[in-house]
Amino acid sequence: MYLKVATLPRKFKVFAMVLSDLILIPLALWSSIALRLGTTIFPIDHIWWIFAILPVITIPIFARLGLYRAVIRYFDEKILLTVIFGVTLSVFFISTLVVMTQTLGIPRSSIVIYWVICVTYIMISRYLARGIIRQMERLNNVRKQKVAIYGAGRAGLQTALSMFSSSEYTPVLFFDDNKDLQGTSIAGIRVYSPHRAIELMEQNDCHQLLFAIPSASMQRRQEIIKNFEQRNIQLKIIPGLNAIVDGKIRIDSIREVGVEDLLGRDPVPPDETLLASSITDKVVMVTGAGGSIGSELCRQILVRKPKMLIMFEQNEYALYAVDREFASQQGEARIIPILGDVLRTEELRTVIGKYKVDSVYHAAAYKHVPLVEANIISGVNNNVFGTLSALNAIQNTSVSKFILISTDKAVRPANIMGATKRIAEMLVQMFAEQKNQSTVYSMVRFGNVLGSSGSVIPLFKEQIKSGGPITVTHPHITRYFMTIPEAAELVLQAGAMAEGGELFVLDMGEPVKIYEMAKNMIILSGFSVRDQDNPEGDIEIKLVGLRPGEKLYEELLIANVSSATQHPRIMKATEEGLSTSELNGLIEQLKASTQHGSEDKTKQIIQKIVSNYTEAKH
């Protein structure tokens, strides 16, 4: 029955409210006169027209004030104020009318009583309607999933209100750290102390907990999440405050708590002045614009209002996807998608010259360690000669800054991917040492980013979805992790600080054990880990051994020599490379070996260029 009422046309519901007021307003006047005279029997033959005209005056006032636009299910104190204001205007008009027509039979004091009774009748009618609707909702909620909400603030209230009209969820409990809120009711739901959460959720047969605390620090959020681990409770979260527009939260914006919510850090506010100096009103090019980092760089750049953004990408679909995403944004910047290959130097030079590019962020690279290990020639061509091509293309052009996006795998590399990225760094250093040039060259090195195409997290999610097992290479393997937006923002700030030849290293926080991450992902997905201690668990973690070129842990510095910058999460590293003549000679040899397709010769030359490269054992 509730579903039938809820799906009735809005016009029908408004008509029902107007009809109710059409009856209640004259009844309020009759009640006030009866109360004043002390009897329900009094002559109204000569004042019947007042009973008729009163709703004709009052209902349009209510309509003008927006009373009939309010949704009864969610009404609050604003509706009370609207009713009081509307009835006050009604009293003013009727008083004026009675005085001007010198109508007898209506005690003057009864008009004051009418004001009180009319407000009461109108509000009681709304409360009754809301009570009926909510009772119908409760009857219908048997089919809905019960949800407890952690956080009884604005975000929690808006979430609960959104759920009332949802066909999927129903809120049954509120938990909040604020002792002043504990024991109160919000949207008809009792607020309890978080210390009773497990107990109360079990009593209410509720197995989903939604975090509605977007303003809480990352550390506090992590503490709360860990309290509910391994409790057979599915954890979900609403987006940050910047995603809550005008207090509105959509049910489809709620997502499951992920491992990124445990690994993330509280962001350091960016230095907007620093960013504006190299982006605002400038022509900026991003190579590899369709990749995880490249596309996020584009998003962050567009926020800073460049004059033009050139998105250079080899993969057609990746470029199409990112271009389509930005097409819906109404910004002032002109966005130019270029389908091209960084290995074609003249093509790059033509694009740079045509659009008078100011800054180039070189993110184009092959990043998947096993794939590059299995395709050495392609990896060297793209990562080494693609970078060299880009460096050659910007010579004697308008480009004032060139920033290479590097990786922690370039430090004492144990794989071809890391070695090629280290050679790319050395090439940038070589160009930076050239005299009489106007371009500032720099590099930014960091570790894994959460959710990137090469990250283990999407792989683990797929494996959990299919019922497992989750494959981990080694029980002690660790990696650094950072969110994609944080990494991109720090890259832009590091590039803005560059003065020539710097190797910037991003503070990645503490390294994370991949095995522990896998366990957390299983638990956060609502499953249990199957192991020796729990043979009846849901998903197994299977150890498969290190892959070719894979190290147990990654490093960010070769020489462990770094200095601070003006940003707390950006360091400057000093690392030695080869002389220009020596590097040029070896690069020529590397080019010849790749052209002949000789993988063994290519590896030998890479070993000469990167002395601390350790060839992967297959």
Confidence band for 74, pLDDT divided at 50, 70 and 90? low
| Distances, alpha carbon 365 to alpha carbons 357, 454, 524, in Å | 21, 12, 33
pLDDT more than 90, % of the chain: 27
Handedness of CA 572, 573, 576, 577 (dihedral sign): negative
Instruction: Taking residues 361-372, report their average pLDDT.
Output: 92
Catalytic residue, from 236, 282, 409, 421: name it.
409
Confidence (pLDDT) at 246: 42
* Per-residue model confidence as pLDDT tens digits over 8-18: 566 777 788 88
Confidence (pLDDT) at 534: 82
Confidence (pLDDT) at 341: 95
Confidence (pLDDT) at 558: 55
| Minimum mean pLDDT range among 169-178, 267-276, 399-408 | 267-276
Tell me which of 561 and 347 has the higher pLDDT: 347
Residue closest to 542 by CA, chosen among 558, 556, 555, 531: 531
- Over 90: is that where the pLDDT of 347 sits? yes
Confidence (pLDDT) at 377: 96
Confidence band for 89, pLDDT divided at 50, 70 and 90? confident
DSSP 435: S
Instruction: Taking residues 468-475, report their average pLDDT.
Output: 88
In the chain, % helix, strand, coil (3-state, to 5) comes to 50, 15, 35
CA distance 527 to 532: 16
- Over 80: is that where the pLDDT of 7 sits? no
- Over 60: is that where the pLDDT of 294 sits? yes
- Over 90: is that where the pLDDT of 45 sits? no
CB environment 89-106: b (16+ within 10 A), e (fewer)? bbbeebbeebeeeeeeeb
Confidence (pLDDT) at 130: 73
Confidence (pLDDT) at 1: 47
Confidence (pLDDT) at 247: 45
Confidence (pLDDT) at 40: 72
Tell me which of 187 and 395 has the higher pLDDT: 395
Residue closest to 91 by CA, chosen among 109, 73, 78: 109
Task: Tokens 């009103």: give the residue.
Answer: 281
Confidence (pLDDT) at 605: 95
Handedness of CA 154, 155, 160, 163 (dihedral sign): positive
- Tell me the average pLDDT of the chain: 82
365, 337 contact by CB (below 8 A): no
39-48, 377-386, 410-419, 514-523: range with highest mean pLDDT: 377-386
514, 541 contact by CB (below 8 A): no
May I ask the CATH class of domain 144-257? Answer: alpha beta
| Distances, alpha carbon 467 to alpha carbons 207, 515, 538, in Å | 20, 17, 8
Instruction: Taking residues 144-166, report their average pLDDT.
Output: 81
531, 537 contact by CB (below 8 A): yes
Phi-psi region of 412 (alpha: psi -120 to 50; beta: other; left: phi over 0): left
Confidence (pLDDT) at 135: 67
313, 338 contact by CB (below 8 A): yes
Q: How many CB atoms lie within 10 A of CB 538?
A: 16
Tell me which of 356 and 260 has the higher pLDDT: 356
Confidence band for 34, pLDDT divided at 50, 70 and 90? confident
Residue closest to 322 by CA, chosen among 354, 358, 286, 366: 286
Q: Alpha helices of 142-291 — where are they, by DSSP H?
A: 154-164, 197-203, 218-227, 260-263, 272-279
* Per-residue model confidence as pLDDT tens digits over 47-72: 777 778 888 888 888 888 877 776 56
Q: How many CB atoms lie within 10 A of CB 88?
A: 14
Confidence (pLDDT) at 188: 78
CA distance 266 to 220: 10
CA distance 338 to 357: 13
DSSP 467: T
* Per-residue model confidence as pLDDT tens digits over 573-588: 877 778 899 999 999 9
Largest Cα–Cα distance of the chain, in whole Å?
A: 114
Confidence (pLDDT) at 556: 59
Confidence (pLDDT) at 335: 93
Q: Alpha helices of 69-107 — where are they, by DSSP H?
A: 77-101
Confidence (pLDDT) at 339: 95
Q: Residue 573: in which H helix or E strand, if any?
A: strand 570-573
- Over 60: is that where the pLDDT of 33 sits? yes
Instruction: Taking residues 115-140, report their average pLDDT.
Output: 77
Same fold, 144-257 and 272-609: yes
Q: Residues with Cβ < 8 Å from 75, sequence gap 6 or more?
A: 126, 130
What topology is assigned to 272-609 in CATH?
A: Rossmann fold (3.40.50)
461, 537 contact by CB (below 8 A): no
Tell me which of 67 and 562 has the higher pLDDT: 67
Active site residue 409: yes
* Per-residue model confidence as pLDDT tens digits over 238-248: 655 444 434 44
Q: CA angle at residue 149 from 144 to 153, to 5 degrees? A: 135
Confidence band for 262, pLDDT divided at 50, 70 and 90? low
Confidence (pLDDT) at 317: 95
CA distance 89 to 95: 10
- Over 50: is that where the pLDDT of 2 sits? no
Confidence band for 466, pLDDT divided at 50, 70 and 90? confident
Q: Where are the domains of the chain?
A: 2-138, 144-257, 272-609
